[in-house]
């Protein structure tokens, strides 16, 4: 099985885009949107997705599950991981 992040039209609720992720059991934190980027904890990674089309801007991968909701400022993204590090 696969999980996905969906971009929904705020006016209609229709799906605008869908991005599949390979690790269905590891959605631990909640996505956060900041400046047209959705930061999505997904398995062993934090994904940065473009909110307009779902395109991946970047991915940061560690060795263990991404366990927290990211905190985003204008110049940094912070998140915790099961390896007990704050990135």
Identify whether the C-beta of residue 63 lies closer than 8 Å to the C-beta of residue 26.
no
Q: Between these two residues, 85 and 28, which has the higher pLDDT value?
A: 85
The pTM for the full model equals 0.84
Domain boundaries, the chain: 25-87
At residue 87, does pLDDT exceed 80? yes
Give the CATH number of domain 25-87.
2.40.10.480
Query: What is the tens place of the pLDDT at every residue in 26-70?
Result: 556 788 999 999 999 888 889 999 999 999 999 999 888 887 899
**Residue 32: predicted pLDDT:** 93
Round to whole Å and give the CA distance between 87 and 79.
Answer: 5
At residue 14, does pLDDT exceed 80? yes
């Amino acid at each position: 099985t696969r999980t996905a992040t969906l971009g929904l039209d705020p006016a209609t609720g229709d799906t605008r885009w869908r991005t599949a992720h390979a690790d269905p059991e590891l959605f631990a934190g909640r996505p956060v949107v900041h400046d047209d980027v959705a930061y999505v904890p997904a398995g062993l990674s934090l994904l940065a997705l473009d909110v307009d089309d779902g395109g991946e801007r970047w991915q940061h991968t560690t060795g263990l599950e991404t366990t927290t909701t990211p905190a985003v400022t204008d110049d940094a993204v912070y998140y915790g991981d099961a390896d007990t590090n704050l990135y």
